[in-house]
Amino acid sequence: MLERLRQSLAFRLAIQYSLVFALVAGSLFAVLYWELAGALEARDRAAVERLAVQLGRAYDAGGAGALRAELNSNASPEVRSYFVRVIDQTNTTLFASVPQDWIQTQVQSLPLPGDWGITATRQIHTIRIPQDALRDYAIAMASLADGSVLQVGRSTDSRAVLLRPLRRAFAGVGGIALVLSVAVGTILAWRSTRPLRLVSETARRIVETGDLAARVPETPGGGELALLVRQFNTLFEKNSVHVRVLRETLDNLAHDLRTPLARLRGTAELALNDGGNPEESRSALADCIDQTDRLLHVIETLLDISAAESGALRLNCERLDLRTLIERAADLYREVAEEKKIAVILELPAPAEVEADAVRLGQAVNNLLDNALKYTPEDGKVTLAASADSGGAVLTVTDNGPGVPFAEREAIFRRLYRGDASRSQRGLGLGLSLVKAIVESHHGTVSVDDAPGGGARFTIRLKSSAGGTPALL
Amino acid sequence: MRVLVVEDDSKIASFVVRGLKESGFAVDHAADGEAGLALAACTDFDAAIVDIMLPRLDGISLVKRLRAGGSTVPVVFLSAKGSVDDRVRGLQSGADDYLTKPFAFSELLARVRALIRRATQSPEATRLVAGDVTLDLVTREVARAGLKVELQPREFSLLAFLMRHAGRPVSKTMILEHVWDYSFDPQTNVVDVVVSRLRAKIDPDRTRIETLRNVGYVFRPHA
């Protein structure tokens, strides 16, 4: 469980965002701290410097007495908290006033900052000397007219101490916020990545149990994950349809191969048991060859369909007029149509040019015509038409036979599908699926609907440039 | 009649060689292209059956070299590739016919016989006579036992094709190729339909055009 949490995308996302959050908050605090500390120091320094200027003026005017008077005249308790001393150039203390809470000896031992830069103009230097962990000295120095130096100082709370609550608050609140952000972030991310886990869970179930009906529960909305879930469900749906069709095809194939094989075996067995009569044996052998040819033909057509569907069928595309293919097909079937007294009518008013493989597309047209002739009763009518369409061409084969029931209009293009009407007919149930595979390998479409006035109408639509190589699936 | 078989698949080779021998041919077999070329160079064959996919020297190169050397021996290609492209390439290289595996031996035999006949025949007469049937290729007149028979164009072409090969079987595929000009099998029964119509007109007693099961048809002239 812990390992799973550690590897989980939600947790890693939460950790990453929390780290970014901590970094930003930390920098913000550092800037704030710096500014605040600066402001505190500036305030101390301004007060000390102001007093230094004031006392310096008094000393310059009337010496130590005036300084004392100035100090005493200023009754504010704040001023009393200042340490004031004057030292001459030999570092001898000329005057000292020490706040009551200071210990006297400390005045003597108070370090003298080395580099204070005495110049002609009164320059004030402020320095900060740490006293102990809790308190600092803020000391201003001013050079006086007689060459001695006035020091005004004050013990202040150390910045470190002043800012300690702030640091504590930051550490406390920041820490809690960080922990919370990891926890809440993990939960939120965990919740919003739920569709991902559902997808992977569903995929795993399909793989493990073969349950093709499994779907991911869909979430409303148009977010990426909702979209992902919907796409996956579409994929699962398509897959299950493919698998179902494949199974049906295999079932039909097994059935279609079993019948001629059983007949083949029966014929051979009979001939074997008959014994002797060479004439009958020869006839039985000829029967066997017939059955074998039929089987071979089924298999070859299936291979052709597979090749066309998978894009492995090589197309020799050239610019051609659909009228040529129709005329050729009509010519090929002329006698067959005549035998059934079916009138084959060509409606070819204008060129209908496409880029296509003449042999393969011709095969498709032949199959459609063959189909139409098969299902049209005697004295019927089959119309072949071609016309140019916007950006392509349309070819129709219309008969006045029984038509195709609405429910079967997709199924008849499936491999080995035999509609009720076609069971009595010779054929394999492969012709139309070959048509579909060929047309689709040309990036076209084939469909069937009702002809005006009854009968079936098959329509092939092709783009004018099908492209030489079919797209690989 | 001597036939050269160049085929590397031993099963197909033995089945073709045996079949040809049983049909009265003398047969030489080579298992690769170079051996085939060497045999063809030193022996005078009446026909050659050459596989396209061969070790050492492929069938198409073999035939090109044969033709470059001036040989006119009729050649039938055997190939597993059934596409029109390969067929055209094969015929362009100088072969005379093309057969896709798997094939029926009877089909191969019919084609070889047709080729040999064509190669040995004197320039074709404009008038074909087979038994009591005569056919004039120029006036397009057909007569049986001295009586004129009206034929439709396709029936005429079919009869002419059958009569040219009188006494020798021709397959449905060969008929489709020569009468309909279809180089692939459209899988229809059109040939049967036209044959039965032709029979009705030219062969009412059904003794001239014979159906050979699994093979095709043969025209048998009346004595």
Residue A245 distance to chain B (closest CA, Å): 26
How many domains are contained in chain B?
2
Q: Do B142 and B104 share a structural domain?
A: no
Place of tokens 């059983």: A262
Yes or no, beta carbons of A290 and B194 under 8 Å apart:
no
Residues in chain B closer than 8 A to A295 (CB atoms): none
The token pair at A250 is 């295999």
Task: Tell me, yes or no, if B188 comes closer than 8 A to chain A by beta carbon.
Answer: yes
- Give the chain A residue whose CA is nearest to the CA of B195: A335
Fill in the DSSP letter of residue B44.
-
Q: Do B198 and B140 share a structural domain?
A: yes
Q: At a CB cut-off of 8 Å and minimum separation 6, what does A265 contact?
A: none
CATH number (domain holding residue A328): 3.30.565.10
Q: Do A8 and A157 share a structural domain?
A: yes
Of B102, B193, B214, the CB nearest to A339: B193
Return the closest-CA partner of residue A399 out of A457, A326, A449. Answer: A457
| B30 to A276, A283, A461, B56: CA distances (angstroms) | 38, 35, 50, 12
Q: Do A110 and A256 share a structural domain?
A: no
Residue B199 distance to chain A (closest CA, Å): 14
Which candidate in B87, B172, B190, B191 is best for mutational testing of the A interface (most A CBs within 10 A)? B190
CA-CA distance, A453 to A361, in Å (whole number)?
A: 28
Of A289, A316, A336, the CB nearest to B214: A289
How many domains are contained in chain A?
3
Task: Tell me, yes or no, if B189 comes closer than 8 A to chain A by beta carbon.
Answer: yes
Q: Do A35 and A128 share a structural domain?
A: yes
Task: List residues bridging with A141 in a β-sheet.
Answer: A125, A151
For residues B108-118, average pLDDT: 86
Q: DSSP 3-state helix, strand, coil percentages of chain B (rounded to 5)?
A: 40, 20, 35
Q: Do B14 and B41 share a structural domain?
A: yes
In percent, the amount of chain B with pLDDT more than 90 equals 9
Position A75 scores a pLDDT of 59
Q: Is B219 helix (H, G, I), strand (E, B) or coil?
A: strand
Which candidate in A316, A324, A332, A340 is best for mutational testing of the B interface (most B CBs within 10 A)? A332
Q: Do B144 and B205 share a structural domain?
A: yes
Q: Do B104 and B195 share a structural domain?
A: no
Residues in chain B closer than 8 A to A336 (CB atoms): 188-190, 193
The token pair at A79 is 């001023």
Write down the pTM of the prediction.
0.61
Q: Is B22 helix (H, G, I), strand (E, B) or coil?
A: helix
- Where does a domain end: B58, B85, B120? B120
Domain that holds residue B42: 2-120
Position A119 scores a pLDDT of 40
Task: List residues bridging with A318 in a β-sheet.
Answer: A356
Q: Do B66 and B17 share a structural domain?
A: yes
Q: Do B141 and B77 share a structural domain?
A: no
Of B102, B184, B188, the CB nearest to A359: B184
Return the closest-CA partner of residue A286 out of A307, A268, A306. Answer: A268
Q: Do A262 and A158 share a structural domain?
A: no
Residue B110 distance to chain A (closest CA, Å): 17
Position B43 scores a pLDDT of 81
Residue A240 φ/ψ, nearest 5 degrees: -70, -35
CB A91: neighbour CB atoms within 10 A? 9
B114-156 confidence digits (pLDDT tens): 888 877 776 667 788 888 888 888 888 888 888 898 888 889 9
Q: Do A215 and A147 share a structural domain?
A: no
- Where does a domain end: A164, A197, A228? A164
CA-CA distance, A129 to B98, in Å (whole number)?
A: 110
Which candidate in B193, B194, B196, B211 is best for mutational testing of the A interface (most A CBs within 10 A)? B193
B 31-60 residues with CB < 8 A to A: none
Are A333 and A369 in contact by the 8 Å Cβ rule? The answer is: yes
- Which burial class, exposed, middle or buried, applies to B81 when counting CB atoms under 10 A from its CB (0-12, 13-18, 19+)? middle
Position A469 scores a pLDDT of 44
Of B84, B183, B194, the CB nearest to A316: B84
**End-to-end Cα spacing for chain B:** 26
Domain that holds residue A396: 315-463
Yes or no, beta carbons of B154 and A293 under 8 Å apart:
no
Q: Do A323 and A254 share a structural domain?
A: no
- Where does a domain end: B120, B143, B165? B120
Fill in the DSSP letter of residue B139.
T
Residues in chain A closer than 8 A to B104 (CB atoms): 289, 293
Yes or no, beta carbons of B190 and A335 under 8 Å apart:
yes
Fill in the DSSP letter of residue B205.
T
Q: Is B155 helix (H, G, I), strand (E, B) or coil?
A: helix
Q: Do B7 and B83 share a structural domain?
A: yes
Are A120 and A147 in contact by the 8 Å Cβ rule? The answer is: no
A295-300: Cβ within 8 A, 24+ apart: A295/A257, A295/A260, A295/A261, A295/A264, A296/B102, A297/A428, A297/B187, A298/A253, A298/A256, A298/A257, A298/A428, A298/A430
- Give the chain A residue whose CA is nearest to the CA of B176: A332
The token pair at A412 is 């008849």
Q: Is B13 helix (H, G, I), strand (E, B) or coil?
A: helix
For residue A212, the number of C-alpha atoms closer than 13 Å in the C-beta half-sphere is: 11
Which value does ipTM take for this structure? 0.71
Q: Do B138 and B98 share a structural domain?
A: no
Angle formed at CA B31 by CA B26 and CA B35, multiple of 5 degrees: 85
User: Which pLDDT tens digits describe chain A residue by residue (473 residues)?
Assistant: 677 777 788 888 888 888 898 899 889 989 988 898 888 888 878 888 888 888 888 888 877 788 888 777 775 666 667 778 888 877 777 777 777 666 544 554 555 554 444 443 455 666 666 666 666 777 788 877 777 888 888 777 767 777 788 888 888 888 888 888 888 888 888 888 888 888 888 888 888 887 878 888 887 777 888 888 888 888 888 888 888 878 877 887 787 788 778 888 888 888 888 777 788 888 888 888 888 888 888 888 888 888 888 777 778 888 889 999 999 899 889 888 998 899 999 998 888 889 888 888 998 999 999 989 988 888 999 999 999 888 889 999 999 888 888 888 888 887 777 666 555 555 667 888 889 999 999 999 999 988 888 889 999 999 876 544 444 43
Q: Do B68 and B100 share a structural domain?
A: yes
- Give the chain B residue whose CA is nearest to the CA of A361: B186
Residue B86 distance to chain A (closest CA, Å): 11
Q: Do B82 and B21 share a structural domain?
A: yes
For residues B201-220, average pLDDT: 87
Q: Do A15 and A154 share a structural domain?
A: yes
CA-CA distance, A382 to A369, in Å (whole number)?
A: 8
Return the closest-CA partner of residue A139 out of A67, A37, A47, A40. Answer: A47
CA-CA distance, A21 to A178, in Å (whole number)?
A: 8
Task: Tell me, yes or no, if B214 comes closer than 8 A to chain A by beta carbon.
Answer: yes
The token pair at A220 is 């409303």
Of A290, A296, A334, the CB nearest to B102: A296
- Where does a domain end: B86, B120, B154? B120
For residues B14-31, average pLDDT: 88
Angle formed at CA B217 by CA B213 and CA B220, multiple of 5 degrees: 120
The token pair at A409 is 């209009």
Residue B91 confidence (pLDDT) above 60: yes
CA-CA distance, A306 to A302, in Å (whole number)?
A: 6
Residue A193 in any domain: the answer is no
Residue B70 confidence (pLDDT) above 70: yes
Q: Do B85 and B21 share a structural domain?
A: yes
Yes or no, beta carbons of B184 and A290 under 8 Å apart:
no
CATH number (domain holding residue B58): 3.40.50.2300
Return the closest-CA partner of residue A446 out of A455, A454, A435. Answer: A435
Q: Do A215 and A160 share a structural domain?
A: no
What is the 3-state secondary structure of chain A?
A: CHHHHHHCHHHHHHHHHHHHHHHHHHHHHHHHHHHHHHHHHHHHHHHHHHHHHHHHHHHHHHHHHHHHHHHHHCCCHHHHCEEEEEECCCCCEEEEECCCCCCHHHHHHCCCCCCCCCCCCCCEEEEEEECCCCEEEEEEEEECCCCCEEEEEEEEECHHHHCHHHHHHHHHHHHHHHHHHHHHHHHHHHHHCHHHHHHHHHHHHHHHHCCCCCCCCCCCCCCHHHHHHHHHHHHHHHHHHHHHHHHHHHHHHHHHHHHHHHHHHHHHHHHHHHCCCHHHHHHHHHHHHHHHHHHHHHHHHHHHHHHHHHCCCCCCEEEEEHHHHHHHHHHHCHHHHHHCCCEEEEECCCCCEEEEEHHHHHHHHHHHHHHHHHHCCCCCEEEEEEEEECCEEEEEEEECCCCCCHHHCCHHHCCCCCCHHHCCCCCCCCHHHHHHHHHHHCCCEEEEEECCCCCEEEEEEEECECCCCCCCC
CA-CA distance, A35 to A14, in Å (whole number)?
A: 31
Task: List residues bridging with B144 in a β-sheet.
Answer: B133, B147
Peptide bond into A278 cis (omega under 30): no
Q: Do A19 and A156 share a structural domain?
A: yes
Q: Do A147 and A12 share a structural domain?
A: yes
